[in-house]
Structure 1
Amino acid sequence: MKLLTLVTLCTASLLILSGCSVKPTPKKDSTIDASLPTVVLTRNGTIADMNSIALEWEPIDDKRVEGVYIYKVELDKKNSGTDEYYDTVISRFSTHYLDTKIEPGTRYGYYFKTYSASAESKKSQMTTITSLAPMESVSWIHGAQNMPKSAKIIWRPHINEKVKAYVLQRRTLQESEWGDIATVNGRLNAEYIDKNLKDNFTYKYRVRALTYDGMLSKPSQEVTVVTKELPVEVTQISASTNLPKMIKVNWQSVEAKDFLLYRVYRSHSIDSGYEMVADTTKNSYVDTIDEDGKEYFYRVSVFDKDKLESVNKNYSALGRTLVKPISPSLSEARFADGRVKLSWTNSDPRAKSYIVQKEYKKGFFETKIEDFENLTSLEFSDSNVVAGGTYYYKIFSVDSNGIKSKPSAEALIKIEEGAAVKKTAPVKTERRLQQSVPAPATEVVDEPAVNVIVPIKDFN
């Protein structure tokens, strides 16, 4: 066991020492000794592969010889020299050399010199060797057309069992150089799907087989693939501006065999900030909005069954919900003949009725608000007031859709203490908004009211 360990250590030491030694190289002013033997290749002394060339020569018995200088010339290169030193074999006992820096289908010339401690032999005869041509690629390849954002390439597996993988190469019509895009492992694998491609774009593909020793075959035939075109975009789109609490968006239908749906986008700005609000198969969409006079920009795109989306940034439509009616113009507000009298002018032909809002304080912390609706005249009188009271009045117009305008200018009526006030019975109403405890009862007198007053709930 000790002997085996010693032999192993000695062998490792020799390998380390030999690996660290510097190979001798030919000297420019070296002495030529014609008596030194020259290298003679054996009868079958050259074997060529695609990426390597093996050389074998007859044994050298001359003890003066320390090794062999190897010269290599690429004969297919222009101005190839005849004295290109390449490598050194540092033992006269070696009779083989393997050159692995070989290009397929290339002619090389080799010649040799033996060397001693003080001289070199004459040149040996040059031997010309041509490396094997590259292996042929796959015999059949096909590219599937009209796929969404992708291309499918299939081929027939290579018959050479040395093949371990396939290298996929691609270029566009705008490119002249091929680029590697993927390596598909396994000789029997015969498919690749190229993803994330441009729409309606042309690509070219080819395949090269890769062997276990790292050799690439010739390129296969080229195939051309055109990816699927995007759906046709919507070019005619409109949006309503006169509907209450909604915007209706309409667009022209598109004809597509693989149509899936329309997608509606909405934004506050015409140029950016669009968010998806609906998917529909119809060519219209109603956007319900609980706000008057609200504006949005709309865009519509088309999706096909492969989920490709059309361009949608070229055409937009501005829509708006119906604006509020114009507020009435308050023309008179006064206390006379024991009652408050209001009058106003109509500022909007859309107005169908009016609401008078009355606000007054009953105590330090107690405020009461009454809304009186369905007033069709342009006048209103209120006898349900008390001396020393302060009252605030606002007028709203209401259109046929029930949309209430913003309030008119506010009228402040302050009744002096001791003022004569006509007492009338409160009018029975359908609804009344009240933000305090019920008002105290008032004295009932036999006098009809000036107007029929009908309170309703606050539209806001």
Structure 2
Amino acid sequence: MKLSLLTTLCAASLLLLSGCAEITPKPKEKVVVDSTLPTISLTKNGIITDMKTVAFEWKSITDPRVEGIYVYKKSPQDKAANELEYYDTIDTRYSTHYVDRTVEPDTKYSYAFRVFTKESQGVNSKVFVVNTLPVLQSVSWIHSITGLPRIAKIIWRPHVSERVSTYIIERKTFEDKEWHQIDELSGRLNAEYIDTGLEDNHVYMYRIRVKTYDGIISTPSQIVKSITKPLPVSVTKIEASKNLPKAIKITWSPSKQKDFERYYLYRADDIDGSYELIAKLYNNHFTDKIDEDGKTYFYKVSVLDKDGLESEHDKNKVMGMTLTKPNAPAIVEAKLQGNKIELKWGKSDPRTVSYIVVKKSKKGWFDKISKEYKGLTKSLFIDAAIEPDTLYTYTVYSVDKNGIVSEPSIEVQIKTPESQEIISASKAKATQEESVKAVSTKSSSSETTVAPAEELDLNGL
């Protein structure tokens, strides 16, 4: 039994190899018809059609003269041809099946078969008219979920046909002219698709096609629309202070967003500069602590919702500034009066509540001393703690109620003479201060008026 089976397989292999080695025979132009040759006769269920396939089955041919079968076909495209035309060759009489895979769904075709020998052909078979199956319909139900943050969700009922292998997801916007395939999901039982990375408050349309294991693609499903969630509404009426010491207070109108999460506050050095996120807030105000006087910043505020969407905020910016320094005092007179030095200045800023006088003394090349006198409320400073042959430099600062110190006044210098009449600093009385009753730049004959440092000519010292 095994030997017989092996012999049969070897014979079949030889027939196949022999057929591959020769050119497939085609019908001759001049046909010699032999009516004694068998005619192809289909079996009871001899035709099976699918969407892109037509299969035939016929009864076995036993006549040893037959070498093969010619296949004739007429397609809808062959409207000019009145008869069927040669289409294919089956180069063995042992075959009882033929499959045509070059057909379109829901299309009518005509077929006929004829056996052939080396010298002649048999009579044509009956013409078999077949109609391929229509394209598979897509899913029967599809639905979209709208209002999601930069996301669209599509759900559908899984296809009933077990031939379905994948779902093809197609998308289109109002701006698009054609549909675009955005994904393909494997598995017939899949029932949802989530499209991410979408624009805010944008309309997207979706449809689905199914694909079978043999590559047949269905008609498109019903079209569904999905609208992504809009951005939160921006805040309005942003204000920033310009008169607080070492701080800027920013306030804005409260958000009316139903799913409000928090505010984001941004700051930059320039109005069109790079803004940095400096605070995440639940209240509609913030005080920015800044250890610098007269510092300017620009601010903008955004609203964040519970889905993480952030409102637009580039169009609404505001400038804030910390309180500037008070104006420096204007020194109007500095003179050596006997064994004292008198310094007078005018009040140049109404914010000033006190003054600071910085005194620097230099005797020789290396003996340098600096001393500050704070909390002065008068506009006259009398320094009795002086020594002979010493260069003194004075600078005055204004101080406001917040403790903000002004820039230094103009610097003035006085050089004491080499005289024994000047009391030494160790024996001098305490430094005094008085109010300026009348500002005068004239000096009496007994006074020595000293000009500011920048106007002095020290070459003679």
Measured against the shorter chain, the TM-score band is: 0.7 to 0.9
More deviation in 87-96 or 281-290? 87-96
1: CA distance between counterparts of 2:267 and 2:256? Answer: 24
Judge conservation of contact 1:39–1:58 (CA < 8 Å) in 2. no
1:152 matched to 2:136? The reply is: no
Judge conservation of contact 1:38–1:124 (CA < 8 Å) in 2. no
CA RMSD of aligned residues (A): 3.4
Judge conservation of contact 2:345–2:379 (CA < 8 Å) in 1. yes
Change (3 A) 1:177 1:295: same
Q: Deviations over 1:333-365 (max 9, x none)?
A: 333322222222233222222111122346755
Change (3 A) 1:239 1:82: farther
What letter is aligned with 2:432? V
Q: Deviations over 1:210-249 (max 9, x none)?
A: 3333333333222211111111112321211111111111
Task: Tell me how far 1:367 sits from its aligned partner.
Answer: 3.9
1: CA distance between counterparts of 2:66 and 2:197? Answer: 64
For 2:143, the equivalent position in structure 1 comes to: 142
Task: Tell me how far 1:276 sits from its aligned partner.
Answer: 0.6
For 2:189, the equivalent position in structure 1 comes to: 188
Judge conservation of contact 1:33–1:122 (CA < 8 Å) in 2. no
1: CA distance between counterparts of 2:287 and 2:137? Answer: 63
2: CA distance between counterparts of 1:214 and 1:170? Answer: 21
| Aligned pair partner of 1:450 in 424, 429, 432 | 432
Task: Tell me how far 1:25 sits from its aligned partner.
Answer: 6.6
Judge conservation of contact 1:383–1:421 (CA < 8 Å) in 2. no
2: CA distance between counterparts of 1:125 and 1:39? Answer: 9
Matches within 5 A, 1:347-366: 347-361=348-362
Judge conservation of contact 2:84–2:110 (CA < 8 Å) in 1. no
Change (3 A) 1:279 1:309: same
Judge conservation of contact 2:84–2:111 (CA < 8 Å) in 1. no
For 1:198, the equivalent position in structure 2 comes to: 199
What letter is aligned with 1:92? R
2: CA distance between counterparts of 1:255 and 1:81? Answer: 77
For 1:431, the equivalent position in structure 2 comes to: none
Change (3 A) 1:417 1:74: farther
2: CA distance between counterparts of 1:326 and 1:333? Answer: 20
Change (3 A) 1:109 1:354: farther
Judge conservation of contact 1:33–1:119 (CA < 8 Å) in 2. yes
Matches within 5 A, 1:245-264: 245-264=246-265
For 1:34, the equivalent position in structure 2 comes to: 33
Change (3 A) 1:50 1:23: farther
2: CA distance between counterparts of 1:11 and 1:369? Answer: 120
The TM-score with structure 1 as length reference comes to 0.81
More deviation in 331-340 or 219-228? 331-340
2: CA distance between counterparts of 1:327 and 1:69? Answer: 113
For 2:164, the equivalent position in structure 1 comes to: 163
2: CA distance between counterparts of 1:175 and 1:123? Answer: 53
Judge conservation of contact 1:32–1:121 (CA < 8 Å) in 2. no
2: CA distance between counterparts of 1:353 and 1:15? Answer: 119
Judge conservation of contact 2:150–2:229 (CA < 8 Å) in 1. yes
Judge conservation of contact 1:391–1:414 (CA < 8 Å) in 2. yes
For 2:233, the equivalent position in structure 1 comes to: 232
Change (3 A) 1:121 1:361: farther
What letter is aligned with 1:137? S
Q: Deviations over 1:9-48 (max 9, x none)?
A: 9899979967975753748x84323238586351433211
Judge conservation of contact 2:72–2:111 (CA < 8 Å) in 1. yes
1:273 matched to 2:274? The reply is: yes
Task: Tell me how far 1:419 sits from its aligned partner.
Answer: 6.3
For 1:318, the equivalent position in structure 2 comes to: 319
What letter is aligned with 1:347? S
Judge conservation of contact 1:56–1:97 (CA < 8 Å) in 2. yes
Task: Tell me how far 1:414 sits from its aligned partner.
Answer: 2.7
Q: How many residues align?
A: 427
2: CA distance between counterparts of 1:19 and 1:352? Answer: 116
Change (3 A) 1:121 1:392: farther
Change (3 A) 1:257 1:81: farther
1: CA distance between counterparts of 2:81 and 2:422? Answer: 126
For 2:438, the equivalent position in structure 1 comes to: none
The TM-score with structure 2 as length reference comes to 0.81
Task: Tell me how far 1:61 sits from its aligned partner.
Answer: 5.2
Change (3 A) 1:18 1:332: farther
1:109 matched to 2:91? The reply is: no
Mark the runs of 5 or more structure 2 residues left unpaired by the alignment: 435-461
